[in-house]
Each structure stands twice: as structure tokens, then as C-alpha cells.
Amino acid sequence: MGKRVLMIGLDPAVVNYDKWPELTEEKLIAALNMGKAALEFEGFEVDFCAIDHGETAAEVIAAALQKTQYDCIMIGAGVRNDPDEFLLFEQAINLVHKQAPQASICFNTGPMDGVAAVKRWL
């Protein structure tokens, strides 16, 4: 059994694509699926935790963290890099810190460099 990774990121259905004109929902879904597949190819077991802008994000993250013990948790660039998501990012970090203290935390710069981010810590 491989190391377990949780990818936390904005649900593609709630992303404000006006901020990211090069992106569409379809492109983001494809990139996330490719990123997940790349991690799985490297032997990691991967779950994706899709969150909203904060309305239910805490509950969704908490449920994911209670379901399985993860070795590494990656918080996506869409949560970290958008100043409008600052409080959401802070909330996610604190939930991970409290509920999964054994897990490493890593950050990617986009959907396609998750393997490098995870390998920095596992």
C-alpha cells in the first residue's frame, strides 16, 4: 500500500474563471485528473477534496481528514494564490494542522506539479 495523499482544492464548479482567463472548468478538471493520475503512477494513493469558497469548506475538509489518515496533504494553488481566498487558505491550514498533525503539508504551483510537491516531503 502506497503513501496516502489528500489534494485539497477549489471545486472546479466554483472557480471564478474570469480571474484565470486561460482556464476553463473542463481544462481544470482534465488537469486535476492528470495530476492525480501522475501521483498514482508514482505509487501514491490519492483522494481529491473539492471545496467551495468557505460556505461548507471546513466541514468537507474535516470529513475527509476523519475518513482516512494521510501521509501528505497538498493545498492547491487556487486556494493559496488568490487573495480573495486568504481566509479559506488559513482555515484549511488550521484544520489540517489540528486534525492531521502526522501529515506533511505541501503546496503545488498548479495542477501539474503535484508529484514534485509531494516528493519534497515524502
- Which residues face 72 on adjacent strands? 5, 104
Task: Let me know: does 17 contact 23? Beta carbons within 8 Å.
Answer: yes
What is the model's pLDDT at position 55?
A: 93
Segment 7-45, tens digit of pLDDT: 999 999 999 999 989 999 999 999 999 999 999 999 999
pTM: 0.94
Rounded mean pLDDT, 73-100: 95
Segment 64-80, tens digit of pLDDT: 999 999 999 999 988 99
Task: Let me know: does 120 contact 7? Beta carbons within 8 Å.
Answer: no
C-alpha cell at 48: 481529491
Q: What letter represents residue 84's amino acid? A: D
In the chain, pLDDT over 90 holds for what percent of residues? 89
